[in-house]
Amino acid sequence: MELMSEEKKPTAAVMTAWASRCLMKQGATPDVAQSMAEHLVAGDLLGFRTHGLLRLRYNLQALQRGQTKPAGEPELVQGRAAIELWDADLLSGLYVVPKAVKRAIAMARVCGTGTVVIRRTQHVAALAVYLEQAVDAGMLIQMMCSTPAQEVVAPYGAKSACFSPNPFALGVPTESAPILLDMSLSMTAAGKVRTALAENKQLPYAALITAEGDYSCDPATFVAEPASVLASLGGKELGYKGTGLNLFSELWTLALSDYGRKDAAPADADANTVWLQVVDPTAVAEQGAFERQASALVEALKNTQPIDPQQPVRVPGAGALATRARQLTHGIEYSAATWRQLEWCADFCDEPLPTAANAQ
């Protein structure tokens, strides 16, 4: 990946302010625009390149076309003491999900746990960017997400799709750095296939199933006619495990929200359904007990003997946190391809990108 030159690396604050101005020019209110910009830049900082400001163009166009509501609040459909169903009515997930995490934390403080299911929220981007909100409150959090208007992941043994590329994430407090996991339940995410196509590269493993039923590394098959589909996690040999996980994800999101694929309207596009649950460990153990146990598990993982001594076993999230620390110090490392997309956004909104002189 070709990175931009050192003198052009902008700070997170500069890029957040610029993206927020762009979003407001397409009608988003200041609070909605600020939350959207912050969480897209947070994805870049953690290294989730396909779900950072690379998605700004989509968000700007969705606002312009009326596919994303520029203002408002999600509707509480129904709920009980520790669980609620929200309808976001096409508000951005970048704005709605942080509110849902906050609400789940509040429920967990009273009930020990809190769950919020959100339907019809426009694309949430990287689940990882919402985890630390709960972790910083001393809570465990797990999240799942699906897209009812999208079918692009095949179940094991099939060459046609019935799932979306459903991500799963969890955040866990320890006595030191948190555990942060964000993974797709398909072999790869659609954004990574498109990135490989744009960079004229093959995928590192056979993550696609062609219309003929062959497993492929070629991203060009994803835009062919007929197009290939994504394989479930586990691929050719163990994809039945990924199929089970995808079914689990869609039962907990689409079925539980009572808004499935037959209900989704064409205008939903990339709108997501999200299930998130927060647990307060002090509901079942003394203060600090969970963190001690979690830290012991982390140490056991790190103390295992690596196959390659040059590649020690890593704790989920360690690489992302290191990437963020580096970029907070030295600026965000945008690829040339991503910067070209941001230049398109700048022209679209008549909002000039930060230059070398003001990027820092």
Residue 73 has φ and ψ, to the nearest 5°, of -135, 150
Report the C-alpha gap between 116 and 103 in whole angstroms: 8
Amino acid 8: pLDDT: 65
Per-residue pLDDT reduced to its tens digit, 23-78: 999 999 999 999 999 999 999 999 999 999 999 999 999 999 999 999 999 999 99
Q: Which helix (H) or strand (E) holds 117?
A: strand 113-121
Amino acid 195: pLDDT: 86
Domain that holds residue 78: 6-186+232-290+317-349
When pLDDT is averaged across residues 253-259 and rounded to a whole number, the result is 98
Strand partners, 345: none
Burial 21-55 (b: 16+ CB within 10 A, else e): ebbbbbbbeeebbbbbbbbbbbbbbbbbbbbbbbb
Mean predicted lDDT score pLDDT of the chain: 95
What CATH number does the domain containing 277 carry?
3.30.1370.60
pTM value is 0.94
Question: Is residue 130 situated within a structural domain?
Answer: yes
Question: Is residue 201 situated within a structural domain?
Answer: no
Number of structural domains the chain divides into: 1
CA distances in angstroms from 38 to 16, 53, 67, 91, 203, listed in the order given: 6, 10, 20, 16, 30
| Residue 118 scores a pLDDT above 70 | yes
Question: Is residue 264 situated within a structural domain?
Answer: yes
When pLDDT is averaged across residues 151-173 and rounded to a whole number, the result is 97
The pLDDT > 90 percentage for the chain reads 92
Question: Is residue 114 situated within a structural domain?
Answer: yes
Question: Is residue 299 situated within a structural domain?
Answer: no
Question: Is residue 307 situated within a structural domain?
Answer: no
Report the C-alpha gap between 99 and 78 in whole angstroms: 16
Token pair belonging to 322:
């290191």
Question: Is residue 36 situated within a structural domain?
Answer: yes
Question: Is residue 154 situated within a structural domain?
Answer: yes
Per-residue pLDDT reduced to its tens digit, 164-223: 999 999 999 999 999 999 999 999 988 889 889 988 999 999 999 999 999 999 999 999
Per-residue pLDDT reduced to its tens digit, 334-358: 999 899 999 999 999 999 999 744 4
